[in-house]
Copies of this chain bind each other. A is one copy, B any other.
Amino acid sequence: MSAIWQYPDFQSHSMTSDTETPLVTVDVVIFTILPDANGQNQLHVLLMQRNHPPYEAMWAVPGGFIHKGETLEHAAARYLKDETGVANIYLEQLSTFGAPERDPRARVITVSYFALIRSHELDTSASLKSKTVAWHPLPQLPDLAFDHKTIIEYAVQRLKRRLENSSIAFQLLPEKFTLTELQRVYELILDKELDKRNFRKKILSSGLLDDIGETKMEGFHRPAQLYVFRDKAIDL
């Protein structure tokens, strides 16, 4: 199994019989906001149910091996597109997990990514191509394969941090949205209620939103102003 002799270009002192030649995968934690079983919007993660060992019948985030000549980010985007039909969306590297026993079959190191998609852009035919792909609300995750529970927790933590320091929430909303819709996104992800007046003051004073003059009716009450994001640039 030693791979040393396959790589003659490497110095023998750097690659020895003790050198590990692991497999490398990427895994993508894909978030979206959808109504849950009770009709309440919730943060959801896309999971796939495994149909073979190890961890058979448990759930895992999408991912797999990288292709020859492909960047890591490209591989992540590819798995994302395969399962959701969505391309060109927010994708960020999270961390690399490589505990020796995380896959019982072989030494496998995984580079994890997280992605945000707008639920209305979901290609339902893509996501339904297999009965074993499903959105799971974050508070109720099923049993997860490998170290995917750790990876998802890490992703949620990063998402919360990004929400507070960056304009990432836009990635979860349609082009036009109301301030209340935006506030709900923040509340769902941060898992706490926000004060309406303070929220609006802060968001509007940031200058990132444009009031487009249109309104949106929903129910028997005053219509809400619609806004768009002024700038598509994501800062750090």
Contacts and interface: CB of A to CB of B under 8 A. Distances in A.
Contact of A20 (B19, B21, B68, B109): B68
Interface string A160-191: 00000000000000000000000000000000
A71 interface: yes
A109 B106 CA distance: 18
Contacts of A15: 65
B67 A9 contact: no
- Interface SS majority for chain A: loop
A69 B1 contact: no
A18 to B, nearest CB: 5
A10 B96 contact: no
Contacts of A105: 7, 9-10
A214 interface: no
Interface in A90-136: 93, 95-96, 98-100, 105-107, 109, 111
B96 A72 contact: yes
A107 to B, nearest CB: 8
Nearest to A106: B7
Interface in A1-53: 1, 6-7, 9-11, 14-15, 18-24, 52
9 contacts: A1-B6, A7-B105, A7-B106, A10-B105, A14-B64, A15-B65, A19-B66, A24-B98, A68-B107
